[in-house]
Amino acid sequence: MLDARDITVSYGRRRVLEGVHFRAAPGALTAIVGPNGSGKTTLLRAMTGDLPYHGKISLGGDDLSTLPAWRLALRRAVLAQFTPLAFPFTVAEVIRLGQIQDGKAGAPDLTPRALARVGLSGYAGRRYQELSGGEQQRVQLARVLCQVWEPIAHGQPRWLFLDEPVSSLDIAHQLQVMQIARDFADAGGGVVAILHDLNLTAMFADSVALLAEGRLLEQAAPETLLRDELLSHAYGCTLRVSTPPARGVYVLPHTARL
Amino acid sequence: MRSRAAEMVAIHPEIGLAGDRRRLARRTSWALAALLLAAAWASLAVGASDVSLGAALADLLAGREIEARSRIILWDIRLPRLLTGMMVGASLAVAGAVLQGLFRNPLADPGLVGVSAGAGLGAITAIVLGGLLPAGIAALLGPALVPVMAFAGSWLAVTALYVIATRGGHTSVATMLLGGIALAAMTGALSGLLIYIADDQQLRDLTFWGLGSLAGSTWSKTLAAAPLMLAALLAAPLLARGLNALALGEAAAHHLGVPVQRLKTLAVLVVAAAVGAATAISGGIGFVGIVVPHLLRLATGPDHRALLVNAGLLGASLLLLADVVSRSVVAPSELPIGIVTAVIGGPVFMWILLRRRGSLEF
Judged by CB atoms closer than 8 Å, whether chains meet at B1 and A89 is answered as no
What is the DSSP code (8-state) at residue A253? E
Q: Is the separation of the CB atoms in A125 and A41 below 8 Å?
A: no
Mean pLDDT of B23-27: 94
Give B5's pLDDT tier (boundaries 50, 70, 90): very low
Predicted pLDDT at A113: 96
Average model confidence (pLDDT) across chain B: 88
Partners of residue A216 on adjacent β-strands: A211
CA distance B289 to B75: 29
- Flag whether pLDDT at B357 surpasses 80: no
Tell me, what CATH number does A84's domain have?
A: 3.40.50.300
CA distance B97 to B137: 34
Sequence letter at residue B311: A
- Which of these, A189, A177, A113, A107, lies nearest to A151 by C-alpha position? A189
- Which of these, B90, B29, B102, lies nearest to B275 by C-alpha position? B90
CA-to-CA dists, residue B337 to A161, A202, B276, angstroms: 53, 69, 18
Predicted pLDDT at B353: 80
Residue A258 counted as domain residue? no
**Dihedral (Cα; B272, B273, B277, B283), 10-degree rounding:** -20
How many other C-beta atoms lie within 10 A of the C-beta of residue A155?
A: 5
Nearest chain B CA: its distance from A213 CA (Å): 24
Nearest chain B CA: its distance from A223 CA (Å): 33
Predicted pLDDT at A254: 63
Judged by CB atoms closer than 8 Å, whether chains meet at A100 and B257 is answered as yes
- Segments making up each domain of chain B, as ranges: 23-45+80-356
- Flag whether pLDDT at B3 surpasses 60: no
Tell which wins on pLDDT, A120 or B173. A120
Residue A36 counted as domain residue? yes
Fold observed for domain B23-45+80-356: ABC transporter involved in vitamin B12 uptake, BtuC (1.10.3470)
Q: Is the separation of the CB atoms in B275 and B110 below 8 Å?
A: yes
pLDDT digits (tens, 9 = 90+) for B132-149: 888 777 777 878 898 999
CA distance B282 to B303: 29
Q: How far is residue B300 CA from its own chain's centroid?
A: 20
Give B98's pLDDT tier (boundaries 50, 70, 90): very high
- Flag whether pLDDT at B64 surpasses 80: yes
Nearest chain A CA: its distance from B358 CA (Å): 14
Query: Is residue B248 helix, strand or coil?
Result: coil
Question: Which of the residue ranges A74-88, B39-53, B107-121 would you say has the lowest mean pLDDT?
Answer: B39-53
Cβ-nearest to B256 among A84, A97, A124: A97
Judged by CB atoms closer than 8 Å, whether chains meet at A90 and B4 is answered as no
- Flag whether pLDDT at B8 surpasses 50: no
Domain containing A119: what range? 2-253
Per-residue DSSP letters for B50-117? ---HHHHHHHHHTTPPPPHHHHIIIIIIIHHHHHHHHHHHHHHHHHHHHHHHHHT-TT--TTTTTHHH
Query: Is residue A193 helix, strand or coil?
Result: strand
Number of structural domains chain A divides into? 1
Contact with chain B for residue A38, Cβ under 8 A: no
Q: Is the separation of the CB atoms in B237 and B309 below 8 Å?
A: yes
pLDDT digits (tens, 9 = 90+) for B211-225: 677 887 889 889 999
Contacts of B302 in chain A (CB under 8 A): 86-89, 93
Judged by CB atoms closer than 8 Å, whether chains meet at B1 and A91 is answered as no
Partners of residue A217 on adjacent β-strands: none
Q: Is the separation of the CB atoms in A191 and A108 below 8 Å?
A: no
Contacts of B258 in chain A (CB under 8 A): 69-70
- Flag whether pLDDT at B341 surpasses 60: yes
Residue A19 counted as domain residue? yes
Judged by CB atoms closer than 8 Å, whether chains meet at B17 and A124 is answered as yes
Burial bucket for residue B196 (CB in 10 Å: 0-12, 13-18, 19+): exposed
Mean pLDDT by 10 residues, chain A (258 residues): 96 92 97 96 95 94 93 95 92 94 77 96 93 95 96 94 94 95 97 95 96 96 94 92 71 59
- Which of these, A205, A164, A211, lies nearest to A33 by C-alpha position? A211
What is the DSSP code (8-state) at residue B1? -
CA distance B1 to A168: 19
Question: Which of the residue ranges A238-247, B41-50, B264-273, B333-342 would you say has the lowest mean pLDDT?
Answer: A238-247
* Cβ-Cβ contacts under 8 Å for B129 (sequence gap 6 or more): B194
CA distance A196 to A234: 13
Query: Is residue A218 helix, strand or coil?
Result: strand
Partners of residue B324 on adjacent β-strands: none
ipTM score assigned to the predicted complex: 0.92
Mean pLDDT of B238-246: 96
- Which of these, B275, B336, B280, B270, lies nearest to B143 by C-alpha position? B280
